[in-house]
Structure 1
Amino acid sequence: MKLRSEYTCPLEMTHDMLKGKWKPIIIWQLSQGGCSLSEMKKAIQGISQKMLVQHLNELLECGMIGKTVSDGYPLKSDYFLTDRGRKVFEAISIMQSIGIEMMLEDDREDFLREKGLL
């Protein structure tokens, strides 16, 4: 991910760092606790390994997440939210609550219960 050299406002920069279908979902997943690439791949339905690795690298690059690598065999890498990532998660939580409200208005309580959100 290449950030532009000029922006009209700081929100544009944040948007560039988070744009895409998967980045907010990855941050949401990491808010539940650090996890490995394979754990994230299992938890995030529909994401390809290639897309997950690409987005993780972009989130690492902009300081939203961190990565620890354990010695030994096999090597194990765990990803976690940084302070910046936890701030972004607060905004994503607000977006999630708006989505829940809208689903309740659309009578989608069954879906929300199935996902453990009610």
Structure 2
Amino acid sequence: MKIREDYTCPLEIAHDIMKGKWKPIILFQLQREPVSLSALERSIAGISQKMLLEQLKELQAFGLVDKHAFDGYPLRVEYSLTPDRGRRMLEAVRIMQQIGVDIMVEQGQTDFLDAKGIAYSKDGCPQKSG
């Protein structure tokens, strides 16, 4: 993905970098520790390996994700958030996640949250979730 040259606002750049179905989910899955490609693919329902690799490549190009290949056989590769831009973007993703949780609680869709083990507050007060 190429960044446009003409913008009316810096937010457009961030939007272009993060647009799409998978990038926020990928960043959210990388929040705790480096993850192998196969583990990342298993943790994201519905994503193909081809799409995952494409999205990871774009996230790397924009400085949000690092890729570390280990020596030896079998080939082992791990992906992680960059300590600067990746971690900062994760903050925005966490806020979006919490807004989604709040709306699901308001709409009585807590069975899904319970099944996924996502923390929420029954009294409507925000609660940190992971």
Aligned residues: 118
Residue of structure 2 in register with 1:53 after alignment: 53
Give the whole-Å Cα distance in 2 for the aligned partners of 1:37 and 1:109. 30
Alpha-carbon shift at residue 110 of structure 1 (Å): 1.0
TM-score (norm 2): 0.89
- The 5 Å alignment of 1:88-103 reads 88-103=89-104
The residue identity in structure 2 corresponding to 1:58 is E
Alpha-carbon shift at residue 7 of structure 1 (Å): 0.8
1:31 partner SS: coil
Give the whole-Å Cα distance in 2 for the aligned partners of 1:7 and 1:77. 35
2:30 partner SS: helix
2:33 partner SS: coil
Alpha-carbon shift at residue 109 of structure 1 (Å): 1.0
Give the whole-Å Cα distance in 1 for the aligned partners of 2:13 and 2:79. 23
Residue of structure 2 in register with 1:104 after alignment: 105
TM-score (norm 1): 0.98
2:78 partner SS: strand
The residue identity in structure 2 corresponding to 1:104 is V
Query: Higher helix fraction: Structure 1 or Structure 2?
Result: 1
Give the whole-Å Cα distance in 1 for the aligned partners of 2:34 and 2:92. 19
Does structure 1 residue 85 correspond to structure 2 residue 86? yes
User: Structure 2: where are the runs of 5+ without partners?
Assistant: 120-130
1:15 partner SS: helix
Give the whole-Å Cα distance in 2 for the aligned partners of 1:59 and 1:49. 15
Give the whole-Å Cα distance in 1 for the aligned partners of 2:113 and 2:5. 41
RMSD of aligned Cα (Å): 0.7
- The 5 Å alignment of 1:26-65 reads 26-65=26-65
User: Structure 1: where are the runs of 5+ without partners?
Assistant: none
Q: Structure 1 residue runs of 4+, over 4 Å off?
A: none
Give the whole-Å Cα distance in 1 for the aligned partners of 2:45 and 2:96. 20
